[in-house]
Chain A
Amino acid sequence: MKLIILENYAQASEWAAKYIRNRIIQFNPGPYKYFTLGLPTGLPRDHLESYHSFMWNNFFKHIDISPENTHILDGNATDLQAECDAFEGKIKAAGGIELFVGGIGPDGHIAFNEPGSSLVSRTRVKTLAMDTILANARFFDGDLSKVPTMALTVGVGTVMDAREVMILITGAHKAFALYKAIEEGVNHMWTVSAFQQHPSTVFVCDEDATLELKVKTVKYFKGLMLVHNKLVEPLYSMKETGAERRQSKKPYSD
């Protein structure tokens, strides 16, 4: 894995954004599809806290993406499992996921793959752990009864199929989960640990998220930042010629 450690939330976000931008440009020409990972069930589509609203307000409305190229699991579908299976089918039809970008929960979950989720699971309906429900209560005015208890989510296996995985982890409350994910063994209680077995993973985090790691680990990866920063400098532009863009940007492999 590559562990990228930045000073704070803003810098970590910026590094991740630049990396994603370079990867997108590198990937062109060719159709590029985005898939959004997980949607709680039981929320009407235009509820403020639905993933549709979240994605619209935080991403789609700021860019010129074509609606046909967005795929969000529909938590209000009549047959939820069929919706999940169809989602897997769409991923396959699009040629698979090139880069998966996700976060990590305080309990080490990726997407809504709560502790105990199979490490080879696929897109499915998942019940949410109490920790997750409590964490999400803030979006429902603190009223626990209003928080959905189930979610549609991509599986750990689904994400493992992606050609590259990027996990964003910021904040001290995620530090223990990061420790469990990268310094302990692969364990279905901390599902992000599954990516230790993925050939190409990038963890982007801030200083606070490293608080539970060994000093040795942190020093080692900070020392590699000179090399890792070559992934975001130079920052590509769509206006460059094809030859420049297609240059391989992997200075080393891990």
Chain B
Amino acid sequence: MMPSNKSVSDAPIFQFTNCRILRNHQLQREDLWVREGKILNPEKLFFDEKGSADIQLDCKDSIIAPGFIDVQINGGFGVDFSLAVDDVQSGISLVSQKILSHGVTSFCPTLVTSPPSVYHKVLPQISVRNGGPHGAGILGAHLEGPFISKEKKGAHPEHYLSTFESGAFQDLLATYRHLDCVRIVTLAPEMKRSSEVIQELTRRGICVSLGHSVANLSQAEEAVRHGATFITHLFNAMLPFHHRDPGIVGLLTSDQIPARRRVFYGMISDGIHTNPAALRIAHRAHPKGLVLVTDAIAGMGLAPGRHTLGQQVIEVDGLNTYIAGTKTLSGSVATMDSCVRHFLEATGCTVETALEAASLHPAQLLGIEHRKGTLNYDNDADFLLLDNSLRVRATYIAGEQVWSQDTFTI
């Protein structure tokens, strides 16, 4: 080990060797350098600081990818984020800790359509916070509903659906009340006065997503013009693609998207919510917009049986989750890493593409790619060690190992 003359910082420098890292959209045989929770530029360290590594770690030929970011997850391990409990934090903390083993280092706890009382009780208890050994980082809440279409409510409870046609944004504010920690709102753009609402949400830095909607393509395009940038679980809970009116699905190839903007779309690639052929069509039409999400519910991680999702009771058997007694899909029990693997297999895409769909693209959607979602220098050192089948071997947040397989040590 060489002495380092650290003119910039005394903090220890870690060099992860014997690995392939995802950088510039390619897997490269390079070492990953980390200091003080951030990715370090080794060339600058060498020439400017005349520094070198304090600790070298052999990654046993792992793939190193940026940590996964899940922007739609309703709960897991028995926890339902839409339940109005007194201690929301402990449920979120449990899930955030458990999903580390799925490779998720940041996420947006998602609330489905609920009565205002639930939002008033739950939202103040959610706060944006950094990840660490305690669990994945919280980027903010994703509110899916209640401003969605009755015809496409899916598993959302009908009597709690709502509109904002009388007071526009004020109605929305009255329903949610606390917007500080809200990161994404899913709504149906065909609803009256949605343009004003979308504009105001966008102005406040909240990402607007279109979903659970019967909008046609022009309504969807207008919503995008006003600021919408995401589509909630493409294909599910929206009008099917029609060749004379592609509906929301048409946004993938629309020529009405404002310049320099990109529409992203969530896909639940658990093999159930979307036929692999449909997954491939979407991916081929607009590969750079695909964002993998789990849409996981409380039953994820638990044995088959009955669980809650907001005001509903859900039945889980194997990979399928339905509203109890029906065949209506509601959320999934998929894990993020299994979604990545399934996506890779179903589309035959490159490993780099599959990994970026779960890391770079969600980061770009939320406008945080200068901090997360890549292994670029100075980004947060949230990353994963994976084997060649993209199974997670170890998870790191801010350069610190927060989870690893029992059999894997470096």
Contacts and interface: CB of A to CB of B under 8 A. Distances in A.
Interface of A: 45-46, 52-53, 56-57, 60-61, 64, 66-68, 70, 72
A67 B31 contact: no
11 contacts: A46-B43, A46-B44, A52-B47, A56-B47, A61-B43, A64-B2, A66-B52, A67-B47, A67-B50, A67-B51, A67-B52
Contact of B31 (A52, A53, A61, A64): A61
Contact of A56 (B46, B51, B52): B46
B140 interface: no
Interface in B47-103: 47, 49-52
A234 to B, nearest CB: 30
B247 interface: no
A14 B43 CA distance: 26
A53 B46 CA distance: 11
A66 B2 contact: yes
Return the 5 tightest CB-CB contacts between A and B, nearest first.
A67-B50, A56-B43, A67-B46, A66-B2, A52-B47
Given A66-B2, A67-B47, A61 B42 contact: yes
A2 B31 CA distance: 39
A66 B52 CA distance: 8
Contacts, number: 31
Given A52-B43, A53-B43, 15 more contacts: A56-B46, A56-B47, A57-B43, A60-B46, A61-B42, A61-B46, A64-B2, A66-B52, A67-B46, A67-B47, A67-B49, A67-B51, A68-B50, A70-B46, A72-B47
A71 to B, nearest CB: 11
A45 B31 contact: no
B142 to A, nearest CB: 39
A contact face: mostly helix, strand, loop, or mixed: helix
Most B C-beta atoms less than 10 A away, residue of A45, A53, A57, A67: A67
Contacts of B51: 67
Nearest to B53: A64
Interface in B213-264: none
Contacts of A56: 42-43, 46-47
A46 B377 CA distance: 13
B375 to A, nearest CB: 16
A57 B46 CA distance: 12
A64 B2 CA distance: 9
Nearest to A61: B42
Nearest to B4: A67
A60 B53 CA distance: 13
A61 B52 CA distance: 10
Contacts of A66: 2, 52
B367 to A, nearest CB: 26
A56 B42 CA distance: 9
Contacts of A46: 43-44
Interface in B1-37: 2, 5, 31
B47 A45 contact: yes
A200 B370 CA distance: 54
Contacts of B52: 66-67
Nearest to B50: A67
A57 B52 CA distance: 15
Contacts of B44: 46
Nearest to A53: B43
A115 to B, nearest CB: 32
A110 to B, nearest CB: 25
A166 to B, nearest CB: 25
Contacts of A64: 2
Contacts of A57: 43
Contacts of B47: 45, 52, 56, 67, 70, 72
Contacts of A61: 31, 42-43, 46
Contacts of A70: 46-47
Nearest to B3: A66
Contacts of B31: 61
A165 B51 CA distance: 31
Contacts of B50: 67-68
A43 B101 CA distance: 45
Most A C-beta atoms less than 10 A away, residue of B31, B47, B50, B51: B47
Contacts of B43: 46, 52-53, 56-57, 61
A76 B59 CA distance: 38
A67 B51 CA distance: 7
Contacts of A72: 47
A73 to B, nearest CB: 13
A64 to B, nearest CB: 7
Contacts of B2: 64, 66
A155 B405 CA distance: 57
A17 B50 CA distance: 26
Nearest to B47: A52
A66 B5 CA distance: 11
B59 to A, nearest CB: 16
Contacts of A45: 47
Nearest to B43: A56
A57 B47 CA distance: 12
Contacts of B5: 67-68
A236 to B, nearest CB: 23
A174 B47 CA distance: 33
Contacts of B49: 67
B51 to A, nearest CB: 7
A179 B234 CA distance: 68
A60 B52 CA distance: 11
A61 B46 CA distance: 9
A64 B4 CA distance: 13
A56 B30 CA distance: 12
A66 to B, nearest CB: 5
A198 B103 CA distance: 61
A19 B142 CA distance: 63
Nearest to A72: B47
